Amino acid sequence: MATNPLVLVIAFILSVRLSQWMNVAAHNSPLFACDIDKDPSLKNFAFCDDSLDVKTRVDDLVKRLTLEEKTGNLVNKASSVERLGIPAYGWWSEALHGVSKTGPATYFSSLVPGATSFPQVILTAASFNETLFKTIGQVVSTEARAMYNVGLAGLTFWSPNVNIFRDPRWGRGQETPGEDPTLTSKYAVAYVQGLQERDDGDKNRLKVGACCKHYTAYDVDNWKGIDRYHFNALVTKQDMEDTFQPPFKSCVLDGNVASVMCSYNKVNGKPTCGDSDLLKGVIRGQWKLNGYVSSDCDSLDVMLKSQHWEKTPEEVAADALNAGVDLNCGDSLRFHTGGAIKAGLVKESVVDEAVSNNFETLMRLGFFDGNPSKQLYGNLGPKDVCTPANQELAREAARQGIVLLKNTAGSLPLVPTAIKCLAVIGPNANATETMIGNYAGVPCQYTTPLQGLSASAKTIYEPGCLNLKCNNIVRLHKAKEAAAAADAVVLVMGSDLSIEAESLDRIDITLPGRQNFLISEVASAARGPVILVIMSGGGMDIQFAKENPKITSILWVGYPGEAGGAALADIVFGRFNPSGRLPMTWYPQSFAEKVAMTNMNMRPDVTTGHPGYTYRFYKGETVYPFGYGLSYSPHVHHLVKAPTFMSIPVDEDDICRSSECKSIDVVEHACRNLIFDVKIRVMNVGKMEGSHTVFLFSSPPKIHNTPQKQLLDFQKILLASRQHKVVSFKVDVCNHLSVVDEDGNKKVALGEHVLHVGDLQHSLNLRI
């Protein structure tokens, strides 16, 4: 049929118009203030002048605002101030391990359908690689900025979670870097720097704003009916100073984080968001936070309705503001600050300070600098999200974190050419969403364990359990047949968010339902090696599998992120040498039966029978200890250099000169610059190249109820087969060797400190 050329021309014009119109409609634009192109009169406002310093600009802005406009900017859904060209801003975005869909200010759309989903933090922490922590932060903030530029995200991200993973049952332990204050502090600093630091090195400006949460001593979500909204954490001064506070302190002082979020729980009787000692005193006073203090979401409502902390919402609003809360996730401060001022409970100057801290943060983010497309990061867009390089980093992170817990000689790695058929069995064998854990976004794509393994060998798949809870075993005979016929078996078991999650702590720390039975049955039927893969956030009592000789290898893969299956296959088939180490103790089930999760005491107590928590204090049996992890290549350590004694200089009139002292006070003594080197030669004595983490622990003299062992520092190095390298640690006596006494003061104990590196032990005597 002949086509009328006129119709074609009209159709052409229409389609061009349509696509232009669609481009405009689909290309959402970012929110920003001081849009001078749209309203040239805004140029006259000092707060829009980016050549002035931030403080001058903030002061100029705040003095122009009415009280209502101020209180509208004390909440996460902040109000616009249209007469000043300020749009409404959503403060709540999240980026725990990738841009997340949890915060209401972030959306995924056809423009950006997904973002790179890195492993859940507990697995990344297992890599013990600070470079990796920071690199992930950089990639996440690049994707976040790209999404901001098309109107899909804010600039303030309420991540990371730096609470100590005190108890294995905690449902949110997966979000944290584990049980150790040193590792958690280093993770916090590196990740926050990765998120916040700009490529132009301008320290006063931010790429995106991070937030260390949940301040403080927050690690009970919902255990046997005791929930976080009602829980009163009873914490000793000593545990506070040497366990719960250090990650927050490092995050503020060394990470220069833009925000700290106070938690839901009470600490020693007071809600943290109403505790002026904790907020004004410590965060702003001692640590000098450069940024804003946010409440957890609806914390103020929790203070009123669950904790009955005060009688009226005005009193709660005043308490929070007077304590140092600047931003309320929720609505309380919008509605009740005015009333609190009228009632004389809080001064307007306190509101001015709070709103200034919030606006100052937005100013450092460039929100008041006009059109972001003309600024650094203005050219980022959807093309910069889910790039092949970013997705490769997600796979690399999972590879670096995965921990090899058991490996009978010759079991792993599998030789792909020798595997004609691989049985892949278990409820997590073809996991998708389970791999990304909580506070996740929409991933770019998934590579499930089954897909990852199938790329290297022919597989047969049997889920084994009806679902993760595994109360029903399906087609057991089929799973056993597959195991009997295959050259090797990979069982992918473990946990998911129906077992451990926000608002869901565990009761038991064994594998769910009949998983143990399925594993043992399949193992007994198997002809070749049996590789048990545990996908979980918290540790599991898998003693039965550790002891079963038919189970030849065990891997822990955390929640390994979108590329988890590919990373698992890299390790199983020997393309990558495992180097992850457990960032938390794996306890036996008896621990969960004996210890009340609500007992916050880190230290054991003989009078109550409390065994204490974490490798620093717990002396009982473990399934696997903190720091445990094997490699395909053994590594050996030799001590090259470490002093056997050190003298701490003290003043002529120091009391410790005339009488016997057990310890000296860090604040009062000048041991600040007393630094020594510990040098260790490490050799890879295996056949494969691999990375190896060197842990430097110390056991201080036994005074002040000190930890039996504490991690001073760690370094990860890459070694080729037969290669060796010298790793050097700078140990600062006051910083690294100090302990905290019963009153929360830092002390350096005199006497014998034992340094441990792997199996090496070295004695160091500290004296006056």
User: Which residues lie near ligand NAG (CB under 6 A)?
Assistant: 129, 131-132, 135, 396, 430, 432, 448, 450, 461, 691, 716-718
- Which residue number, 70 or 716, has a Cβ lying nearer to ligand NAG? 716
Q: Which residues touch 190 (CB under 8 Å, ≥6 apart)? A: 130, 131, 133, 134, 137, 255
Query: How far apart are CB 447 and ligand NAG at their closest, in Å?
Result: 9
Query: How far apart are CB 82 and ligand NAG at their closest, in Å?
Result: 46
Q: Which residues touch 331 (CB under 8 Å, ≥6 apart)? A: 75, 77
Query: How far apart are CB 732 and ligand NAG at their closest, in Å?
Result: 23
- In DSSP notation, 25-57 reads HHS-----S--TTT-GGGGG-GGG-TTS-HHHH
- Which residue number, 129 or 272, has a Cβ lying nearer to ligand NAG? 129
- In DSSP notation, 622-689 reads -SB-TT--B-SS-EEEEEEE--SEEE----TT-HHHHS--SEEETTTS--TT-EEEEEEEEEE-SSS-
Query: How far apart are CB 690 and ligand NAG at their closest, in Å?
Result: 9
Structure tokens at 39: 């309203």
Find the helix packing angle between 332-342 and 348-364, rounded to 10°.
150
CA distance 710 to 741: 15
- Which residue number, 450 or 592, has a Cβ lying nearer to ligand NAG? 450
- Which residue number, 15 or 498, has a Cβ lying nearer to ligand NAG? 498
Query: How far apart are CB 11 and ligand NAG at their closest, in Å?
Result: 39
- Which residue number, 102 or 684, has a Cβ lying nearer to ligand NAG? 684
296 is catalytic: yes
**Taking Cα atoms as reference points, which of 652, 668, 631, 575 lies closest to residue 758?**
631
Query: How far apart are CB 448 and ligand NAG at their closest, in Å?
Result: 5
- Which residue number, 139 or 766, has a Cβ lying nearer to ligand NAG? 139
- Which residue number, 298 or 462, has a Cβ lying nearer to ligand NAG? 462
Active-site annotation holder among 239, 296, 570, 713: 296
CA distance 700 to 695: 16
> Which residue is at the shortest CB distance from ligand NAG?
691
- In DSSP notation, 74-124 reads SBSEEPPBGGGTB--EE--B--SSSS-S-STT----SSS-----PPPHHHH
- Which residue number, 364 or 716, has a Cβ lying nearer to ligand NAG? 716
Q: Degrees (nearest 5) of the Cα angle 391, 395, 398?
A: 140
Query: Which residue(s) pair with 333 in the sheet?
Result: none
Q: Cis link prior to 638 (omega < 30° from 0)?
A: no
Whole-angstrom CA distances from 619 to 127, 219, 589, 605 are 25, 21, 15, 12
Strands 710-719 and 690-699: antiparallel
Q: What is the DSSP letter of 374?
A: G
Q: What is the widest separation between alpha-carbon atoms in the chain?
A: 111
CA distance 50 to 364: 10
Query: How far apart are CB 478 and ligand NAG at their closest, in Å?
Result: 13
First to last CA, the chain: 103
Query: How far apart are CB 463 and ligand NAG at their closest, in Å?
Result: 8
- Residues annotated as part of the active site: 296
